[in-house]
Amino acid sequence: MITPSPTFSVSDFVAALNQTLEFTYPYVEIEGELSNFRVSKNKWVYFDLKDETASLKCFSTVYALPGPLEDGMVVRVAGSPRLHPLYNFSFQVQSILPVGEGSLRRAADLLAAKLEAEGLFDPSRKRPLPFPPRHIALITAADSAAYADFIKITATRWGGLEIDLYSVLVQGEQAPAEIIAALKTVNESNSTPEVVVLVRGGGSADDLAAWSDERVVRAVAGSRVPTMVAIGHEVDTCLAELAADVRASTPSNAAELLVPDKQQELRHLRAYERRLNERLTAIVMHRRTGLVTLAERLDEELMAALEQAKKQFGTATKLLVAYDPGRPLRQGYAVVRSSVGGVVTKAKNIQLDDLIEVELIDGKLASQVKKITMNKKNEEGE
């Protein structure tokens, strides 16, 4: 007996098929060449993914794009197959990554040209980093050699730093989202670090693709906290490095650029101390010589002033001796004063019977004028 085949309505068949696809292929990755790539209304993305013998229609939003894409590039898409009730079968894409050296380089070149035109790589927008910073946010894989190198070099060169680790995937499909989320957390932190450092080791172009993802590059360029990015080896260049405030060639170089070498700084300080001591010694010797010269000059000036004072004292002494009022008295002269106390210098100022006082060297006499004899020349009118 033949079992009758089930009969579906169109809607039921679409729903049943989608349930089967969701159970069998909930999430798959497909690699192929881009064809008929277009963006509609700056929101929806349509393209075909093809190889030598088949073609698959794909649909996505612009938020899944890692950057500008074009026909001919080989990409890896991740998502789910889906039968739309109206628009037939398509692959619903959740992420798109260029793969292969040529496609990765072409995608990076397209994105670089776009971002450079917007000014994201302009040197004038770069900010200086504090040197040395006290508080660093480090975004990398916690189990990576890049993390170990960075921590070792910073501890050896300087030490005493506060380093907050934000462990993320540094390659693969989920890496861009984790890097962006870590940057957002750093910028929204209540204890804002002085610099955020993003590092990872070297790898293939496919391994480093996340660091040229447009979303990551824009997050680095838009960070409120100054950024330093060190990806891979010196030969590797990712767009996130070009958007950062400072680019380091390697994770170890990032540590070297961020903090000084304490041993070298100590040598500089000791050399500076020696120069200061030499300078201070020279200043002291110069001042000492100046003080000796000044002391000698002061001694000479003091001696000259003393000699001058002695001369002045001798002259004054002679004048005092010459003008000593007792000297004439010792020689027999006397001072005559009238009864009213005034000194009498001329006989014509005295009248007969006036009371006068005569001062001698050893005393005073009270007298009364009984006779006045004028000198001849005074009688003539002098």
Please give the pLDDT value at position 19: 87
Residue 220 in domain: yes
Is there a domain that residue 123 lies in? no
Looking at the structure, tell me whether residues 247 and 288 fall in a common domain: no
| Beta-carbon contacts of residue 130 (< 8 Å; ≥ 6 apart) | 194, 195, 226
Of 336, 335, 367, nearest to 354 (Cα)?
367
Residues 145 and 251 in one domain: yes
Cis preceding linkage at 81, omega within 30: no
Average pLDDT by consecutive 10-residue portion of the chain (382 residues)? 75 85 87 88 89 88 86 87 85 85 77 86 91 93 91 89 92 90 92 92 81 90 93 76 91 91 86 91 90 89 90 87 75 79 79 81 82 71 51
Q: What pLDDT sits at residue 325?
A: 73
What pLDDT shows up at residue 236? Answer: 62
pLDDT of 351: 80
User: What is the pTM for the complete model shown?
Assistant: 0.59
Domain span including residue 84: 10-99
Report pLDDT for 148.
92
The domain boundary residue, chosen from 227, 260, 293 = 260
Cα–Cα distances in Å, from 97 out to 43, 48, 92, 290, 361? Answer: 18, 15, 15, 80, 134
pLDDT score for 365: 81
Helix (H) or strand (E) holding 109, with range, is helix 101-118
Distance (Å) of CA 331 to CA 327, 334, 361, 364, 365: 6, 9, 9, 16, 17
Please check whether residue 119 lies inside any domain of the structure.
no
- Confirm whether 1 is domain-assigned: no
